Each structure stands twice: as C-alpha cells, then as structure tokens.
Amino acid sequence: MGRKGPRTEVLGEDFIERRAKARERLDAFDPHKQPGGTEADPKRREWFETVYSLAEDDPAAVPWAHLEPRPLLEDWLARHPIAGLRALDVGCGLGDNAEALAHAGARVVAFDLVERAVQWARERFPESDVDYRAADLFDAPKEWRDAFDFVHELYTLQALPKALLPDAALALASFVAPGGTLLVISRARDADEEIGGPPWPLAKEDIEALAVDGLRLVALEDIPAKDVVGRHWRAEFRREAGA
Ligand SMILES: C[S@@+](CC[C@H](N)C(=O)[O-])C[C@H]1O[C@@H](n2cnc3c(N)ncnc32)[C@H](O)[C@@H]1O
C-alpha cells in the first residue's frame, strides 16, 4: 500500500485502490508507455476514448478525476474575479473545474474530445449552467476564435506528446479575446530532468512557448512539491486589448 495522502481521506481507500488497478490496466494499454509505440496513437485519441469507456461509470477509473476542482485553480479564482466573463475550459474531463468557473460567476463553455466525458459531466451536474460540448482542441468550432475573456487549461497539455504542443499553443491562443487571459496549470520539471511519461510534466521553455499569436506571458509561478502533490507551473498569459 502506498503512502496515504489527503486524497485517500476524501475519496476513501476503496476508491484509491480501484484507481491504482485502473492505472495499471490503462498503462498496459497505452502505446506511449511502450518503446516506439507513439505512432500507433499520435494524438492519444484512442487512449482517452478507452479511459472513459473502460471506466464504466466509475470515476475511480479516470486517473485525473478528483471529484472536486483542483486546488491551484480554486486558489487562483479566490484572488482573480471572473464574474460575468466568457470562459472556456479546455479538456474538461468530468467537469469539476468548469463548475468552479461557473460558481465564480463566469459564463462557461467546457469541452472535451471524448463524448462520454462530456455526457458524464452533464449527468454529474444536471442543474449546471455550463455548456458542455464534445470538441477537438485541434479542430475547434470556428466561432470560438477570439471569443473568450478567460481560457483555462489544466493537465491537458502535459497529457499530449511534445510534438503537439506548438499546435496546442496556437489553438489555445486562438480562443482568447482581445484583453483576455489564458491560465495554464501543469505539472513542472526542470529542462534537463528525465521524464518517463505520459503524463509529461512541462519544462519552463514549454510554458514560455505558449506565448504565441499575440499572447504575452504576464505571470509564471513555480509552485514547489508539497506532501503528495508534485511541483507545478501556474502561468497567466494576456492578449492586449485591441491586439
Ligand atoms: C489529463 S485529462 C485532464 C482533465 C481535466 N482538465 C482535469 O484536470 O480534470 C485531459 C483531458 O483532455 C481531453 N483531451 C485530450 N485530447 C484532447 C483534444 N485534442 N481536444 C479536447 N480534449 C482533449 C481528454 O479526453 C481528457 O479528458
């Protein structure tokens, strides 16, 4: 049995055990965990689809599902008002972070590549004002261009192969309206640190490379590892009004 963390207390030991088993099963299936397996599923679509379908409605089997908003987002929201803003949650999974944005008063669109994830989020929050959609970051609806005052991305970039990051950066930037903000939260690593992955924690240069298409990096926090939670980046980008 691994070290007990705060999540064990909240989710329960049974949940944590089911999660560990699901991870083993998913890792065994993931071509990116096998040498030379990347070509088989370059965008990891098949793997993401498989995560949600194998889960059979058990959130313990969705490795990133914590059934509550992530603390680094909540902490940021406590200090940055977003009420009334048009917000977009990228790779929304089961919806907890999107719900936090709505709770903070934003008008939220949240999307995920996997239809089952989107349905599941809708089922979990039937009274929600969040507009949950199935969509692909790399082929998003045209009307989302420049359409959001606040774009939030948490843990999706680190789940994508590095070769996709330049296109992901352009896609994220395209959603941000003039005067708008992009917030990115991800696991962090030093540039020369060996990483296994996936997930692939981002290096500082990966974060800086998200400042494309008129976006400027305006704040970058390097948040050290604490208890069972690893080191993170929390990065804020802005598009100048009129840019
Ligand atoms: C690591 S999970 C993080 C989920 C959520 N942000 C969270 O923190 O709970 C990454 C999510 O991005 C979704 N995803 C992967 N590729 C995507 C793409 N090209 N477009 C939209 N969503 C994608 C996956 O289905 C998955 O739900």
Residue 242 Cα to ligand 1 middle (Å): 30
Report the range of poorest mean pLDDT among 27-31, 78-82, 164-168, 206-210. Answer: 27-31
Sheet with 215-223, edge to edge strand ranges: 131-134, 107-112, 86-90, 148-154, 176-187, 232-239, 215-223
The binding-site residues of ligand 1, defined as CB within 6 angstroms of any ligand atom, are: 48, 64, 70, 91-93, 97, 112-114, 117, 136-138, 154-156, 159
Helical (H) or strand (E) element with 88: strand 86-90
Residue 36 Cα to ligand 1 middle (Å): 23
Look at ligand 1, atom 27, and give the residue with the nearest C-alpha: 93
Contact by Cβ (8 Å): 137, 168: yes
Look at ligand 1, atom 17, and give the residue with the nearest C-alpha: 113
What average pLDDT does range 78-94 have in this prediction?
Answer: 98
What average pLDDT does range 54-76 have in this prediction?
Answer: 95
- Assign domain 71-239 to its CATH architecture: 3-Layer(aba) Sandwich (3.40)
Write the pLDDT tens digit of every residue in 126-176: 999 999 999 999 999 999 999 999 999 999 999 999 999 999 999 999 999
Q: Please name which of 128, 206, 159 lies closest in space to residue 63, comparing C-alpha atoms.
A: 159
Q: Cα–Cα distance between 216 and 213 in angstroms, integer?
A: 9
Q: What percent of the chain is predicted at pLDDT more than 90?
A: 83
Domain boundaries, the chain: 6-61, 71-239
| CA-48 nearest atom, ligand 1 | 25
